[in-house]
Amino acid sequence: MLEILKHVNLLVINDSEARELTKEFNLVIAARKIMKMGPQILIIKKGEHGALLFTSDSIFSAPAYPLEEVFDPTGAGDTFAGGLMGWIAKTKDLSTDNLKLAVIYGSTMASLAVEKFSLDGIRHLSNEQIMNRFSEFKKLTFFKEESL
């Protein structure tokens, strides 16, 4: 795996995998160690606590979409990765700002997937349903900066 990482541009792993790979508990330190192994872009999924995006010059923290009930978390990470990669494939843009959007799309898709059993949460989704959840996610994380 260490040999393969030398050739990877973007890596998506979960927090326990990052800690196991680096023997570091702190995810920021773990991320820097992993990036020295090869990946220029790293996303660490933290389950119900969201995800962290690391690039050479930035860190972005995205929450998970808060749900009152999670019916079936199986496949949430794969759905996150699918939403993330789908956005990147659609836009063909690896800029930091677009990667942040990709993480939010991934989180949006994962939140929809866990609301029902197996694939039922995403099997018949419309673009409108996805965009409605994305808009809710955006409202949830928006804040206005006030000058001091």
Give the catalytic positions in this structure: 78
N residues, the chain:
148
